[in-house]
Structure 1
Amino acid sequence: MVGLLQALVAASEKAAQIARLCRREEPLFQLLVAEKTGTDRNRRFLQDFKTLADVLIQEVIKHDLGKEFPELQGHIHGEESNEFRNGQGETVEVRVCATPGDTAALLRSVLEPEWEAAELLAAAVHQDVVLEDTELAGVVLSIPPTDLAIWIDPIDSTNEYISGREDVTPIDGIAPAGLCSALVLIGAYDRRVGCPVLGVINEPFFRRDTLTHRWQGRYHWGIVYGDTRLCSLSPPLPHPAPCVVLSRAEAAAVRAALGPVCGDRLHFAAGAGYKMLCVILGLADAYVLSEGSTFAWDACAPHAILRALGGGVVALAGALRMRRAGGTGDPPELVYNLPAEGAVGAERWANRGGLVAYAHPQHLETVLAALAAVPEL
């Protein structure tokens, strides 16, 4: 498990470097955008994009983890198809080849005539990442990789990554939108029961270096296995009244129900992963989403970290049914090994019925009590 944790963190660091490299090539970046269609399209957005960075990062993580842990091959899942349409209308299967030269040649078929960019990307794909993290190196825990499977979101909040707004002013520490909400998410879950076990969140665009003006990142990780809970972060302190973060597309009835319990502590942000990160960091006490517009790859990594901190992510519809029926046990949490019956494409892995991510049980109780009064839910 220690080796796997380090491998996931290293993969997230390589992914973050590739994400930053693609952003630096701004004219080229605009040419790399391909619109998702059909069953791969997120129905919440009029336009939902995937980028070469998305596809390439996912394939790099699959390649690196599968090479180091052959037991995981066939059990590493991601948001994206590895097919990318180039400027000539040809479909190219993006993958990591045996050598940097071979990978560069494949990428040139996508990027032509931008050969220099293909060489830079290939070099980033094949680089060795060295972690200088003594806390991470000191983690001692053992779990067979054969028990686990992986969910990858190569760049969560792709729309913010594409638009690249850098001048968004945070409100109480929470950015309503912008490049900072674009994250790399890698989560491991138990294949048999579906519960999240390990999560890594990487923030590629955490801050700019004041001298070089280049973006710098940071990462967070958490493990919850049996009675063991380990995290790179300390548990956040609760606010007296819950601070809740929502999507701007959230239903008016949900906003109205939460208003009386939150007061002026109702915030809005982009990206499911970023909103859960706000809960992890203690900027918010809960993230509420009433629709099934997030997916397994969005939630698995943050869920594992929240569990390590004493919180979790519950299935909103199931929690409200249980509450209204008079149930007194723990509300049902999301699981990551069961596709939705009757669904196709990305919708097979949608978190149907919404979710509540929380850091403290008392705030979860307050939020669920308020939402139970909403008849539409």
Structure 2
Amino acid sequence: MAALLKVLLRVAEKAANVARVCRQEAPLFELLVQEKTGDDKNKKFVQDFKTLADVVIQEMIRHYVGAEFPEMGGFIQGEESNKFENGLGESVVVTVCASETETAALLEAVLDGDSTAAALLAKAIHQDPAAVDTNTGDLSIPHSPSELGIWIDPIDATSQYIEGREMVLEEGHLSPSGLHCALVLIGVYLRSTGEPIMGVINQPFNYKDPSGRWQGKHFWGVSCEGVRACSVSLPESPAEGTGLRAVLSSSEKPAVKKALASLCGPDNVTYASGAGYKILCVILGLADLYVLSEGSTFKWDSCAPHALLRALGGGIVDYTESLGTPEPRGAQLTYHQPRTQNKGADCWANQGGLVAYLDCKALGTAIEALNLKP
């Protein structure tokens, strides 16, 4: 497990480098945006974009993890189709090749013959990142790679990534939007049960160094067979009387907003972009709950941060199921079975919505309030 975690941390940092390279080349970035259509379109948004950065990052992670752990090859899944249509109307299947030169040649076909841009991307894909401080110790979990699967969200909050607003993060404060909401998410689950057991989150745009270049930050967690380890310390409990803090999507249903405002107080209900970022806010103790009543997130959004929450004693439950049970903790999301009645991306939707939490008492209090909503 320590070996797998180290590989995931390394490829997540490689992915962050690719994301940063794509944003640094503004003329290139404008060419990379392509609208999703049909069954791959997220119903929540009027426009939902996929970028070449998304596809390249996903296939890079699949390539390197599959090379290290070939028995996982058929169970490394991601958000994006690896088919990309270039400006000439040609469909190209994006893969990572054995050499930088071969990858550049393939990307050149996607980029309408732009050899300079293709070479830049290929270099980022094949370049080893700076050493990643894992400090994972000797994690020992009695599962082989052949028992595990992986969910990849190459760039969560793609719209924030595309828009590219640069916000200054304040220590201890949730920030509602901006580049920092764009995350690389890699989650590991048990194929037999769907239980999330390992997660890596990389935030490529955490801060700017003195030279003005973006630097990132990573987080990881493991929870399986009694083993719990996390790069994040358990946040301190809020001072007594301060009330619960909830983070929501701005598009959340009015009844849910009203119920949580009554429970938490209007000033303790905030809004932020990106499902992964909102769950990260719970992990970091910037919010106590993330509530989403609709099925607009997917397994690749929640698998990685779910593993971190479990490592800290929390979890992510199905919103709809948790409303109908006296023990909401039992409605944990799982990651191994598609909804075969659905099509395209919706097969892997968290269709019942979700509630992410650190403290079980906070979960119970929130579910009680939500059960009373009109």
Which residue matches 1:369? 368
Could you say if the C-alpha distance between residues 301 and 71 of structure 1 is closer, same or farther in structure 2, counting changes exceeding 3 Å? same
CA separation of 1:167 and 1:234: change in aligned 2, threshold 3 A: closer
1-structure distance, mates of 2:132, 2:23: 25
1:234 corresponds to:
233
- Name 1:347's counterpart in structure 2: 346
1:207-286 alignment runs, 5 A limit: 207-210=207-210, 212-239=211-238, 240=240, 241-263=243-265, 264-286=267-289
Please say if residues 244 and 285 of structure 1, whose CA atoms lie closer than 8 Å, have aligned partners that are also in contact: yes
After superposition, the C-alpha distances for 1:328-348 in whole angstroms (9 at most, x for unaligned) are 473310000111141010000
Deviations 1:118-175 (A, max 9, x none): 1111111112235342613x23314311111000000000011001111477696111
Write the deviation string for residues 249-270 of structure 1: whole angstroms up to 9, x where unpaired: 0011001001122111111000
Equivalent positions of 1:1-377 (< 5 A) are: 1-129=1-129, 131-133=131-133, 135-136=135-136, 138-142=137-141, 143-167=143-167, 173-210=173-210, 212-239=211-238, 240=240, 241-263=243-265, 264-322=267-325, 327-328=326-327, 330-375=329-374
Post-superposition offset of 1:365: 1.1
Query: Which amino acid in structure 2 is aligned with residue 349 of structure 1?
Result: W
The CA distance in 1 between the partners of 2:327 and 2:311, in whole Å, is 23
Contact 1:244 1:267 in 2 (8 A): yes
C-alpha distance in structure 2 between counterparts of 1:31 and 1:341, whole Å: 35
Distance in 1 between the 2:164 and 2:129 partners? 26
Question: Deviation of residue 321 (structure 1)?
Answer: 1.2
Determine if contact 1:55/1:94 at 8 Å carries over to the other structure: yes
TM-score, length-scaled by structure 2: 0.96
Tell me which amino acid in the other structure corresponds to 2:45. Answer: F
Alignment partners' CA distance in 2, 1:362 and 1:184:
30
Residue identity in the other structure for 1:35: E
Contact in 1 for aligned 2:9/2:200 (Cα 8 Å) = yes
TM-score by length of 1: 0.95
**Preserved CA contact (<8 Å) 2:168 2:207:** no
Contact 2:6 2:134 in 1 (8 A): no
- The amino acid of 1:182's aligned partner reads A
Q: Give identity over the alignment, percent.
A: 54
Instruction: Give the unaligned 5+ runs of structure 2.
Output: none
In terms of mean alpha carbon deviation, does 156-165 or 112-121 score higher? Answer: 112-121
Q: Which runs of 4+ in 1 moved over 4 A?
A: 168-172
Kindly tell me the number of residue pairs found equivalent between the two proteins.
369
**Conserved 8 A contact 2:10-2:132:** no
C-alpha spacing 1:339/1:100, structure 2 compared with 1 (3 Å): same
Q: Which runs of 5+ in 1 are unaligned?
A: none
Letter in 1 for 2:27: P
In 2, the alpha carbon distance for the partners of 1:26 and 1:335 equals 39
State the shift of 1:320 in Å: 0.5
Task: Provide the rounded CA distance (Å) in 2 between the counterparts of 1:170 and 1:268.
Answer: 16
**How far apart are 1:229 and its partner, in Å?**
0.4
The worse-fitting range, judged by mean Cα deviation, of 336-345 and 7-16 is 336-345
Deviations 1:227-264 (A, max 9, x none): 11000111112324111000000011001001122111
Q: Is the 8 A contact 1:200 1:302 kept in 2?
A: yes
Kept in 2: contact 1:247–1:289 (CA 8 A): yes
The question of whether the paired residues in 1 share the 8 Å contact of 2:317 and 2:329 is answered with no
Deviations 1:11-56 (A, max 9, x none): 1000000000000011110111110000000000000000000000
Letter in 2 for 1:277: L
